[in-house]
Amino acid sequence: MKNYVVAKQSTVPRRCLVLGGRGFIGSHLTRALLAQGHEVRCFGRYGSGALDNELANHPNYDHFEGDFNSAADLARALEGMDTCFHLVSTTLPKSSNADPLFDVESNVLGTVRLLTLAVKARLRKVVFVSSGGTVYGIPESVPIHETHPTDPVCSYGIAKLAIEKYLALFHAQHGLDYAVLRLANPYGEGQRIESSQGAVAVFLGKMLRGEPVEVWGDGSVIRDYIHIDDVVDVLLPVLEYQGPERVFNIGSGRGHSINEVLDTLERAVGSDVARRYRPGRSFDVPESVLSIERARRALGWSPKVDFEQGIERFASWMKAQLAEQLEQVERA
């Protein structure tokens, strides 16, 4: 994982609640915030435990276990905080249509509950990680700007968009500051390769295990992939941003087809993978590449990790992790 260097502080340290702090993005963000001198309360599910001993013993780190849909847990987690990073999602794009009621109840209603409690707790700001890949639906033009029509084709995207609208409502009614980051497809060190989310991680895991890869469609679907370091590097300046913009696309600004992703992974791993092509899925839009000019202009941010370089780093990290696990098994 990235070793964040503490820069000269030009802002007052914040007290940050990271909802989903045990997850892929949340764990990287937590470390980065601590490195910059902020206080961090990491909200994870019951039984999740602290990230590691280093964090558990950090003077500015507070591990909090709770249920996102519990008003009592959220109220306790918000006590004393001035900023909240909302990274929680209970569904995936491919599964959300199977049970949209659960999607709405757990994500949309859960977030409205959070915002209501945030106003009572006098929270300063909410930073919400939305979905740049699903809120727009089938693009009318590429790259996709923030002003593009929003016509999601899956419940996941509809829920994310609804949350964005409620953030705007609470800002208008209660003055609750907020920012929305419509994120492309993040990947990188620390991502779980055994999960069903994140094409790069899923493909890499199968390749390292010697398993075939299933591709939905002919592999021509194009997506925007962004390395986790670049994601964290844009989350940090949002803390102090006071400009007029509220919604930002966050991606690499470039698109890669599924076949190109597999080609790049094969070069990084050093071996070919068996590809099994399946019929395409109705919720997969053919191409999604985000325009990131607004974030460049307003936040002074731009992605720095080249796709091929990022894939090589991720593959090398994962190989080292698997080698360490094998060594531990052999020693046991």
Residues designated as active site: 156
Six token digits for residue 186? 């993040």
CB 239 within 8 A of CB 125: yes
Q: How far apart are CA 29 and CA 144, in angstroms?
A: 26
CB count in 10 Å sphere of residue 75: 17
What DSSP character marks residue 287?
B
Q: How far apart are CA 272 and CA 257, in angstroms?
A: 17
Which ranges constitute the DSSP H helices of the chain?
Answer: 24-35, 53-56, 71-78, 93-96, 100-103, 109-120, 155-174, 199-208, 228-238, 258-269, 293-299, 307-331
Residue among 192, 153, 86, 100 nearest 288 (CA): 153
